[in-house]
Structure 1
Amino acid sequence: MIVLGIILLLIGIFAKISILTTIGVILVVVGAVLSLLGATGRAVGGRKTWF
């Protein structure tokens, strides 16, 4: 999720498409939160790791 967010963020910045930039930022933030929760051992949605 983080990688997809970074890719969309970069495409949005270089192509000057604001919706891709916004979606990219949201995906990076959500991916980081899920990664942190998984690293602390807390299961999110029944899973400890998200790929």
Structure 2
Amino acid sequence: MLRWSISFLILALIAGVLGFGGIASASVDIAKILFFVFAVLFLISAVAAALRGRLPS
């Protein structure tokens, strides 16, 4: 999921440089949403692993 977020961010940067404002804006929004979903899932898995007594790898 983090890979998708980075891909949309790169797409937004390229679209912004080329002058496609609408596509750049949409790509940034998608990248933000995917990044926050990734961060929440990571935190949930880290807490679950800590509660089980294992160190996250």
> TM-score, normalization: structure 2?
0.63
Task: Verify: 1:22 aligned to 2:22, yes or no.
Answer: no
4+ residue runs over 2 A deviation: none
> Which residues of structure 1 form unaligned runs of 5+?
43-51
| Aligned partners of 1:5 and 1:23 also within 8 Å | yes
> Which residues of structure 2 form unaligned runs of 5+?
17-23, 50-57
How far 1:14 sits from its partner (Å)?
2.3
Q: How many residues align?
A: 42
% of aligned pairs identical?
Answer: 33
Structure number, greater radius of gyration: 2
Alpha-carbon separation, structure 2, partners of 1:2 and 1:32:
9
Alpha-carbon separation, structure 1, partners of 2:44 and 2:3:
17
| Aligned partners of 1:9 and 1:22 also within 8 Å | no
**Which residue of structure 2 aligns with residue 5 of structure 1?**
5
RMSD over aligned Cα atoms = 1.4
How far 1:37 sits from its partner (Å)?
0.5
